[in-house]
Chains A and B, each alone.
Chain A
């Protein structure tokens, strides 16, 4: 657990277990105005597309690491510090967000 006190989900996710991208919804709501878990992402490793909610999420310390469920590529990383946050999208080709037509 980081001294910043950022801790999300189960302790056992340190030990080989994982959660899924649903767990990213809260942390990423700090910077996104839309729900990221329901956005459809495309993986740079294998080209698979699917909702962010279905990524495998490892963490919580020192940050959250989201991997492609198909090929294991690191799709997204999120680290929250005391006064800033890092979002690393190196494994993401794109994120497609569904938005209202009238906005």
Chain B
């Protein structure tokens, strides 16, 4: 099934599936990972997302996209949801669900913002806030495949957050992972003794982690639209080829 997704051709048209919530994890005060059992899940690629549909008793229905956080070969599907206080869907997903609840989802979808273990070039991941989620799936996929196949192409992650408390997957990102370098950036508040003032991403921040243009690296950028636009512009200014930069933007609230 994975092969079908690799080529972009799907074995059958996607349909809505009913997933069962089997666990939840608080990642930060405003984000929660939902662990889902999805019968018949066809497998996915790191970076893909799902559409989640909620339907009220009166028939009103709404849907949102959420990136898949888990590596492809897990038995369960994990989504990490950022709670947006005035959002319509995310407070429900992040606050109200109980284990055993059912969710409708469609996926995996998206064949462009993906990383596959066959890629031999170095990779730079640039995350703004909850834009870390699909990039975390790539990091997890690489780690899993590396255990089976031996060393894979190196990854660097530049992860921009407002405050130290906003770092998702912190323990995992601070655990040894050969070939992965992680750099945090803070835009509002820094850890004690941190040498860089809190400020938004600069060209110097990216220059410190970017692979040289000759490395033919692929860069994945995910975050709120203004962050992605800014980061992509800086990367091009640094000499990265635009067609080696893959971006995924989400709206300012994420809903």
- Name the one of B59, B65, B109 contacting A9, with C-beta atoms under 8 angstroms: B65
Q: Is the CB of B254 within 8 A of A10?
A: yes
Closest chain-A Cβ to B130's Cβ sits at a distance in Å of 12
Give Cα distance in the complex from A42 to B9, angstroms. 21
B122 CB contacts on chain A under 8 angstroms? none
Q: Give residues of chain B (151-208) contacting chain A, Cβ–Cβ below 8 Å.
A: none
Give Cα distance in the complex from A46 to B245, angstroms. 21
Give Cα distance in the complex from A37 to B247, angstroms. 12
Give Cα distance in the complex from A87 to B58, angstroms. 28
Q: Does B150 contact A (CB under 8 A)?
A: no
Q: Does A23 contact B (CB under 8 A)?
A: yes
- Name the one of B7, B51, B255 contacting A11, with C-beta atoms under 8 angstroms: B255
Closest to A102 in B: B7
Q: Is the CB of B111 within 8 A of A38?
A: yes
Residues of B within 8 Å of A, CB-based: how many? 38
Q: Does A62 contact B (CB under 8 A)?
A: no
Q: Give residues of chain B (48-91) contacting chain A, Cβ–Cβ below 8 Å.
A: 49-51, 55, 59-65, 87-88
Q: Is the CB of A35 within 8 A of B225?
A: no
Give the interface centre of B10, B49, B109, B255 by most chain A CB atoms within 10 Å. Answer: B109
Q: Does A72 contact B (CB under 8 A)?
A: no
A27 CB contacts on chain B under 8 angstroms? 51
In the complex, the number of residue pairs spanning A and B with C-beta atoms less than 8 Å apart equals 120
Q: Give residues of chain B (226-252) contacting chain A, Cβ–Cβ below 8 Å.
A: 246-252
Give Cα distance in the complex from A70 to B14, angstroms. 31
B14 CB contacts on chain A under 8 angstroms? 26, 29-30
B17 CB contacts on chain A under 8 angstroms? none
Closest to B225 in A: A17
Q: Is the CB of B112 within 8 A of A22?
A: yes
Q: Does B43 contact A (CB under 8 A)?
A: no
Q: Give residues of chain B (105-121) contacting chain A, Cβ–Cβ below 8 Å.
A: 106-107, 109-113
Closest to A18 in B: B225
Q: Is the CB of A38 within 8 A of B109?
A: no
Give Cα distance in the complex from A5 to B89, angstroms. 13
Closest to A40 in B: B112
B253 CB contacts on chain A under 8 angstroms? 10-12
Question: B residues within 8 Å of A by Cβ?
Answer: 7-10, 12-14, 49-51, 55, 59-65, 87-88, 106-107, 109-113, 225, 246-255
Question: A residues within 8 Å of B by Cβ?
Answer: 1, 5-13, 17-23, 25-27, 29-30, 33-35, 37-38, 51-54, 97-100, 103
- 20 extra interface residue pairs, beta carbon distance < 8 Å, beyond A12-B252, A25-B111, A33-B13: A5-B62, A6-B63, A8-B65, A9-B255, A10-B251, A10-B255, A11-B88, A18-B225, A18-B249, A18-B251, A19-B249, A21-B112, A22-B49, A22-B110, A22-B248, A26-B14, A29-B14, A34-B8, A35-B110, A100-B7
